Amino acid sequence: MGVGSDVNKLILGKRRLQRHLGKMKAALPDVLEHAFSRFYETQPMTYLSVEKKAYHFEDLFLVLQTEVRQVTGMSNLRQVAGRVNYVADQLDTLESSVFKRARRRSRRPFNLADFIEKFTKQSHPDASSKNTEISSLSEAYETLDLEEGCNLRQVMLAFRRLAKKYHPDTRGGDRSDEHALQRVVAAYQVIKESLAA
């Protein structure tokens, strides 16, 4: 009876996280639309900054949806829930600045590199030493179908394109390419770290 109860809690927890991610994803178009009407003509660089952050959130939602589906135990569920909450905090920061309202949550500003680092360490504790299957910078660029020396925007666009290509949600639930999705995430992290250095 205890095992069945744990399974039910796990299923309910995964559903709750998927709903939460769905609500956050659904909020992005409103944020972009409001930012466009508020900033595009008078402060175009501010609008472009909001748009760039929105693209980051889309990428994170794809990664987190995969993580939620792969959860197999309660401790793993708590780890993924922590990452979802982290992203929710950062989305709240963006929404509060766009809509000119007080923050509902209080955390530091959004930083994709921090999220990727947290995601990698919690998902793969030994990822720092093994670089999660990506052994060199040139292999990372090759994984993203890029030539070395590309700028960060080109890297982000390639990451988004490939993440969508391999994500089960865009493949009718087919999870056969999840390994490729994990390599894409790892390659993006390696390149991002090299460009920040």
**pLDDT tens figures, 97-120:** 898 887 765 444 444 445 455 544
**One-letter amino acid for residue 158 of the chain:** A
d(CA 184, CA 187): 5
Residue 196 has pLDDT above 60, yes or no: yes
The whole model's pTM is what?
0.54
Structure confidence at residue 142 (pLDDT): 92
pLDDT, tens digit, for every residue of 14-31? 999 999 999 999 999 999
Q: What is the CATH number of domain 124-197?
A: 1.10.287.110
Percent of the chain with pLDDT over 70: 81
Instruction: Calculate ∠ Cα 139-173-54, nearest 5°.
Output: 65
Q: Which of 41, 23, 20, 43 is closest to 97 using CA atoms?
A: 43
The helix/strand count (H/E) of the chain reads as: 8, 0
Structure confidence at residue 18 (pLDDT): 92
Token match 């500003």: residue? 109
Calculate the average pLDDT of the chain: 79
Structure confidence at residue 21 (pLDDT): 92
Neighbours of 162 (CB within 10 A): 21
d(CA 26, CA 13): 20
Answer whether 17's CB lies under 8 Å from 80's CB: yes
Of 32-46, 88-102, 149-163, 169-183, the one with minimum mean pLDDT is 169-183
Neighbours of 123 (CB within 10 A): 18
Residue 9 has pLDDT above 50, yes or no: yes
Structure confidence at residue 85 (pLDDT): 86
Question: What residue spans define the domains of the chain?
Answer: 1-110, 124-197
d(CA 62, CA 78): 18
163 to 15, 131, 137, 188: CA distances (angstroms): 22, 18, 19, 10
Residue 134 has pLDDT above 70, yes or no: yes
Q: Which of 88, 87, 65 is closest to 14 using CA atoms?
A: 65
Q: Determine the distance from the C-alpha atom of residue 176 to the mean position of all C-alpha atoms in its chain, rounded to a whole number.
A: 20
Structure confidence at residue 166 (pLDDT): 83
188: confidence class by pLDDT, cuts 50, 70, 90: confident
